[in-house]
Amino acid sequence: MSKRVDITGKTFGNVLILEYLLTKNTHAMYKCKCILCNSFIVVSYSNLKSGNTKSCASCGQKTHGMSKHPLYHRWRVLKDRRNLSDDWKDPVKFISDVESTFKEKYSLRRVDNSKPHSLTNSFWTKPRTDSHKKCERVYFT
């Protein structure tokens, strides 16, 4: 007699349950799809129910769907350095503010290094070329 709950077709966070696979060490394992990136993952029911697993590993615990954005990594680095204004602690806000001016090789710098990165205290520098001694700056505001 199985106590297994049928959760096929339900979603937990960003995980869609496709089908029951097997029970491993008393944990019911399900084949699931991460709806952020459409990859298939195998997750135990207990991890889904507890909220431990809300997406595939590469999408992490994020629910904003920004983890694949080229600017998301930049944001993570700044966040780890604790160099962000309150506004920019939200990756969605940060990305929407700087996205329109961003180019792949730009670096984000601060106007005043004693203050955190914010919309008014940051600018992009274009990479140096041989013909330019000074870095060109691209401001957001």
Q: Rounded to the nearest whole angstrom, what is the least distance from the CB of residue 61 to Zn ion in the complex? A: 11
Residues that bind Zn ion (CB under 5 A): 34, 36-37, 55-56, 59
Q: Among residues 37 and 138, whose Cβ is nearest to Zn ion?
A: 37
What is the sign of the dihedral through the CA atoms of 63, 72, 111 and 116?
A: positive
Query: Containing H/E element for 122?
Result: strand 122-125
Question: Would you state the structure tokens that stand for residue 139, as one six-digit string?
Answer: 């401001």
Least distance CB 120 / Zn ion (angstroms):
34
Alpha-helical segments (H) within the chain: 45-50, 70-80, 91-98
Q: Which is nearer to Zn ion, 58 or 107 (CB)?
A: 58
Q: In the complex, what is the shortest distance from the CB of residue 57 to Zn ion, in angstroms, rounded to a whole number?
A: 8
By beta-carbon proximity to Zn ion, the closer residue of 73 and 81 is 73
Q: What's the min distance (Å) between Cβ of 141 and Zn ion?
A: 34
Handedness of CA 45, 48, 51, 55 (dihedral sign): positive
Amino acid sitting at position 120 = T
Nearer to Zn ion, 59 or 95 (CB): 59
